Structure formats: C-alpha cells, structure tokens
Amino acid sequence: MTGQRADARRNYARILAVAEREVAAHGADASLERIARIAGVGSATVRRHFPGRRALLEAVFGERIAALGARAAELAEAADARAALLEWLAALTSYAASARGMADALVQDGLTDPEQVEDCSAKLATAVEPLVRRAAAAGALAADVTAADLLTLVTGIALATEHHPDPAAEARRLLDLVVAGVSPAR
Amino acid sequence: MTGQRADARRNYARILAVAEREVAAHGADASLERIARIAGVGSATVRRHFPGRRALLEAVFGERIAALGARAAELAEAADARAALLEWLAALTSYAASARGMADALVQDGLTDPEQVEDCSAKLATAVEPLVRRAAAAGALAADVTAADLLTLVTGIALATEHHPDPAAEARRLLDLVVAGVSPAR
DNA sequence: TACGATACGGAGGGCCCCACCACTTAGCAA
DNA sequence: TTGCTAAGTGGTGGGGCCCTCCGTATCGTA
C-alpha cells in the first residue's frame, strides 16, 4: 500500500467511493465501466486496482466486514453465549439484507481456494467461529451446526429476500423462524 | 397455442429443448443469443416466443413445477400432515438445488404483479398452501409461518448452496437444520 | 394457385467486459 | 534543479450480449 504512488492511491480512493455508491444502487452487478466513467478514470484503471468484480466487492464491503468482526470479538465475552451468537447473526442478517450485493459477494467467493485470506466469507467465518464454539459448548446449539452453515443460511436469506418490498424486515423475520425452528414443539 | 403456425410451434419446441440444456449448463444467465444460435434460429425468434429471460425460465421449469404441484396434491391426503409437508419441502429443495437457475427464476419473480398467474413461485405457493394449512391445524407448524416463508427459505438455501461442491447434499443438510431449528432445545 | 396474415432472421445500436499499448507523470538521484 | 525511469494512466479495438426494427419468406386458406 505504502509503495504506491500518490496518484494511484488517490484514484483507488475515488474509485472505491464511487463503487460504494454504485453497488448500493445497482447491486453486485454494477457496471465497472460506469464506475470508471463517474470516477473520471479510464476503465483500465479500475481493473488495475480491482482485478475482477470480486475484488471490488470485497473492497467495498471490507470495512463493514471488519466491523462485524469487531462486534463478534466484543460479543465473545458476553455472559449469555446463545444470546451473543443470535445477536451477531441478527446484525449480519440486517446488514446483508440491506447492503445490496453483499450476499452475492459472499456466495460467490465460496469457490475460491482456501489460500485466499481476503475472502469475505472466510473472514466472517473466522469471526463467528468462537461464538459458535461457545454456544455449542453451552448446549445452546446443535452439535453439528458449523459456522459455515450459519453463514450460508444468512446469505441465503439475504439473497432470497433481496427482491421483497422490505428486505431487511423480511430477512429478520426469516432469521427468527430459522432460529426458533419451524416446528413449535420445543 | 393451436392458432400458431406449424413452423412457429416447431421453433418453440426446438428453442425450449436447447434452452433446457443451456440453462442446466450455465444457470439462469445462459445466453439467449447462444440458445438461438444452437437452435438454428435468429435471436429475434427466441425473444418472440419468450419475451425476456423470465418467460424462458418459466417455460423451462414449467413441467417440473407442475410435477411438484401434483406431488403436493398427493401428499395433501397423507396421514401425517407434518411429515407430508416436510417431504414436499425436501422434494422442492432437492430439485431447486440441483436444477441450476431455478432458484434464480423463483427469486426473480417475486416482484411481478399478483395478476401474473404464470409466475413460478405463485404456482408453488398455491401448491403447498393446503399442506401448510393442514400442518398448522395439526399444531405441527408455528402459526405465523406462511407458505411464502417456506418457499423463500428453500429458495435462499438453494441460492446459497449453488456454488458448493455438492449443492444438493448441502441444501438438504441446511433444510434439516431449518426444520429442526438451530437450537437443540425441543 | 394466389393471397394475406403470420412468423422469420439479419442488421444495427447501445452497453459491457477485457486486453493491449503508447503516453504521461511521480518520485528519486545526481 | 534537472533528468531519468518505472509505475501508472486512459484510449482503443475486439468480442459478446441484449434489444428493436423491418424487409422477406413461409404457412394456411380461399
């Protein structure tokens, strides 16, 4: 990062700022060309800084992912392990459902090789992992439920509710269903 | 349908056959142009028969959706209301997870106006509706769970598992989780 | 057989992604 | 301050896709 030239850093920042707006407006398949146009740079410059759409999405959502990671770290010390996990899941759901394109970003990088540490879903998985373990240890979670399972479920909910009139509300509703279990027998 | 010219019907059938293969191979965003090329017709002909990608997907998945509807009708008379519903959900999940593009087709037509009877998800919703009602009446389902909720969940699962190594297995696993509820307390 | 309606498909415009390449400029060293 | 050089830039062209228009071929019928 520091090794970059000043203009490169400036362009990076500008492109990223525009990309955030565009992705918010048009979802994961925002036009890279359009982003370049708005940012006032050539399209080649965009793809130099972000080779491929994935890279751009990861950059766009990077901060928020980091914030979710921090939240997880906080919650790892909460008294109630189950409540902590559920709160984090709710936070993730809320964000994934409202931030257009994030769910796509998550689902797309499922393929990437495990080396890819920049991977969004890998970061999130690492973040929840402790919460999941603690909840499982406390007997508040079925033993065979993994962090990846939970992320996949939340991602799926976000994807499926994306076209609803009020995605966030609907996603929240479904998350509650999933958590409570469909069956009323408890 | 009968009012169509013979060549029109022939082309329709050819296009649909090619479309099935292409969608299976490339998912919901298969190239319409490519389909036209393979079918040996002009691209305009494809969009004459199927105005928009949605229409084509609905045609592609129409038969299968009908089959699921029939299965629902059978299960509506099963002895165990809860088991019947779960079995149908499993069937839907299995198909949605293995048939590339179907989940997209379902999620996309959430927007369409209620008039649109050709709507895939509407058809499925109508099909499960009785199963859901019966299960709810038997106390085997939380009262506020709707047919649409269940469809959305299954769709989400299918979407989120699409890029996994074994989508069908993973989807099935997640469906079980959802059904059982994440929490072990029962 | 001849005619009218119906269906066809090619051409062209717009947008997009991607790769290449000649030019500019920032930053360093003399 | 002045040059030098590598890093960075953006324009351009190729390929694809989606979509619309419109002249033409074909079907079904009188």
pLDDT digits over A107-135, tens only?
876 555 555 556 888 999 999 999 999 99
Rounded to the nearest angstrom, the minimum Cα separation between A83 and chain B is 12
Write down which residues 42-81 in A have CB closer than 7 A to strand C: 43-44, 47, 52-53
pLDDT digits over A13-62, tens only?
999 999 999 999 999 999 999 999 999 999 999 999 999 999 999 999 99
Q: Are A67 and A122 in contact (CB under 8 A)?
A: no
Rounded percentage of chain A residues whose pLDDT exceeds 90: 77
The whole-number Å distance from A175's CA to D9's C1' is 47
The whole-number Å distance from B152's CA to D14's C1' is 42
d(CA A66, CA A51): 21
Give the mean model confidence (pLDDT) for residues B67-94: 96
- The per-residue pLDDT for A147 is 95
Per CATH, which fold does A59-180 belong to?
Tetracycline Repressor; domain 2 (1.10.357)
Closest of B59, B48, B54 to residue B18, by C-alpha? B59
**Per-residue confidence band for B44, with pLDDT thresholds at 50, 70 and 90:** very high
CATH superfamily of B58-180: Tetracycline Repressor, domain 2 (1.10.357.10)
Above 80 in pLDDT, residue B137? yes
Residue A123 tokens read as: 């970061």
- The per-residue pLDDT for B111 is 52
- The per-residue pLDDT for A171 is 97
Give the mean model confidence (pLDDT) for residues A148-174: 94
Q: Nearest-5° angle of CA B148, CA B76, CA B80?
A: 100
Q: Are B184 and A141 in contact (CB under 8 A)?
A: yes
Strand D close to A91 by CB, under 7 A: no
- Mean pLDDT for chain B? 91
**Per-residue confidence band for B143, with pLDDT thresholds at 50, 70 and 90:** confident
Above 90 in pLDDT, residue B116? no
Q: How many residues does chain B have?
A: 186
Above 60 in pLDDT, residue B114? no
From the number of C-beta atoms within 10 Å of its C-beta (0-12, 13-18, 19+), residue B49 rates as buried
- Mean pLDDT for chain A? 90
d(CA A105, CA A27): 10
- The per-residue pLDDT for B113 is 52
Dihedral angle sign, alpha carbons of residues A25, A31, A34, A38: positive
- The per-residue pLDDT for A105 is 87
**Per-residue confidence band for A2, with pLDDT thresholds at 50, 70 and 90:** low
d(CA A153, CA A68): 17
- The per-residue pLDDT for B4 is 87
- The per-residue pLDDT for A185 is 63
The correct answer on CATH 1.10.10 for the domain covering B1-51 is: yes
Instruction: Find how far residue B76's CA is from the centre of its chain.
Output: 19
For residue B28, count other CB atoms closer than 10 A to its CB. 20
Above 70 in pLDDT, residue B9? yes
From the number of C-beta atoms within 10 Å of its C-beta (0-12, 13-18, 19+), residue B5 rates as exposed
**Per-residue confidence band for B186, with pLDDT thresholds at 50, 70 and 90:** low
Q: Are A72 and A127 in contact (CB under 8 A)?
A: yes
Give the A-side interface with B, CB within 8 Å. 82, 107-108, 110-111, 139-143, 145, 149-150, 152-153, 155-164, 170, 173-174, 177-186
Above 90 in pLDDT, residue B8? yes
Give the mean model confidence (pLDDT) for residues B48-65: 94
Rounded percentage of chain B residues whose pLDDT exceeds 90: 80
The whole-number Å distance from A22's CA to C15's C1' is 16
Domain ranges of chain A: 1-51, 59-180
